[in-house]
Structure 1
Amino acid sequence: MKYSGTVTQWHPDKGFGFIHQDNGHGKIFFHRSDILNRPAFEGIGQSVVFKTATDRQGRPCAVQVRIPGVKATKATSPKNPSGALSLLLASAFLLVLAGAHLQQRLPVEILLFYVSISLVTFIAYLRDKLAAQKNQWRIQESSLHLFALIGGWPGAAFAQQILRHKSRKTAFRFTFWVTVILNSSALFWLLSEDGLKYLNIGVGSLRQLLEMFGIRPG
């Protein structure tokens, strides 16, 4: 059965919104991917017709959203070469760290730190995406960038591509690449002769922290 309504909330940067239903059943969630004639979609105030379904959590949502009188032509998503590049770079970076550790050129604590903070960052992206879908309190973009800056950028790169979250917003992607450059530059400097003493101090502190939790890296 088809229903009709008006878009009352639309978040183009997040790709979702809400439709006020003409049948008096209140608002209903819809995602950009369910708009059939996306090029003609104008956002808030747009009259639409749609069908209803349920998402993975069993909540009602609008699907096959269409602007009346406009031919249904679903837009294809543009390719994102920078996303593939960040995924490749993140994989190569972690492999290089693992290889450097196996060659005893990198303390295991540094490898564990990058893996751990990347996992935390991935989870933060996942929570933010779920919050966006539920129209709940979001994680600030500055917090996501901070996770990336301190070493979680490989996890951010994986999250952006696997979860399809924060992968196309130009300003966000630019800042993400800045965090990659800054973090990588800082690591390479710490591995240099000038920075090695600071690295040893940091590794010693990290080792003490791990030992507090009963973890004794080999």
Structure 2
Amino acid sequence: MRHQGKITAWKDDQGYGFITPNSGGDQVFVHIKSFVSRRQRPALAQIVTYELRRDESGRAQASAVDFVLRRKTARDSRSTGANRLTPNLAIGFLLFVALSAWAGKLPTAVPALYFAASLVTFGVYAHDKSAARANRWRTKKSTLHLLALIGGWPGALLAQSHLRHKSGKAAFLGVFWSTVLLNGGTLILLLTPGGKMLRAALGIA
């Protein structure tokens, strides 16, 4: 017998939460491994159907969990638009620094740094998402932010969009975009005439 309920608690970094049944009663524990599809990440307020079973301690636990399709709202449309914008922003920026280096406005080391850092950052995001699903040791948020700050933020944007990892956490994204602004501000400084002195000091003139 299948039941229907709403996800009323979800810890994405730990991969578990609780479902409140539509019919009432106690909350039901649910683990990320219990979902039928891994293409969609669970989130608060999502409606799901599930089968009910008991664990070894006799506690209720959801299994064979599936999402219930719902009408697309204006908020969903905005979210979809943002998901399309972020990879374009990342790719556009990488092309910009590559063309700037080709035109002699930036040292070739700068686009090389961005491309290498982005590749590493994308890989770290992928590893962290895999660890979240398997309940393994996670990558520290500070490490992800440091990678973004040193130039890996385009790779982070691509990972957030394509892997749907860390893309729905407001606190994390607030710090992330701060690292993007800091990194971008430094790049703008390098492009100004006064940036030549900074580039010489950094040994990348």
* Length-normalised TM-score, structure 1: 0.65
Change (3 A) 1:28 1:102: closer
Task: Supply the RMSD in Å over aligned alpha carbons.
Answer: 3.4
Distance 2:108 2:184 in 1: 17
CA apart distance, 1:145: 1.1
Give the equivalent residue in structure 1 for 2:103: 103
Give the equivalent residue in structure 1 for 2:68: 73
Which structure 1 residue ranges, 5 or more long, are not aligned?
5-9, 20-26, 42-46, 52-60, 67-71, 206-218
Correspondence list, 1:1-218, <5 A:
11-14=10-13, 16-17=15-16, 29-31=33-35, 33=40, 39-40=46-47, 48-49=50-51, 62-63=63-64, 65=65, 73-75=68-70, 78-79=76-77, 80=79, 81-204=81-204
Which structure 2 residue ranges, 5 or more long, are not aligned?
4-8, 19-30, 54-61
CA apart distance, 1:73: 3.1
Kindly provide the CA deviation profile for residues 43-87 of structure 1, in whole angstroms up to 9, marking residues without a partner as x: xxxx95169xxxxxxxxx943x26xxxxx8334683423333322
8 Å Cα contact 1:110/1:203 also seen in 2:
no
8 Å Cα contact 1:191/1:199 also seen in 2:
no
Amino acid at match of 2:69: K
Give the equivalent residue in structure 2 for 1:209: none
How many residues in Structure 1 have an aligned counterpart in Structure 2? Answer: 170
Kindly provide the CA deviation profile for residues 136-177 of structure 1, in whole angstroms up to 9, marking residues without a partner as x: 111111211111111110000011111111111122222222
Q: Secondary structure at the match of 1:168?
A: coil
8 Å Cα contact 2:118/2:155 also seen in 1:
yes
Distance 1:182 1:82 in 2: 21
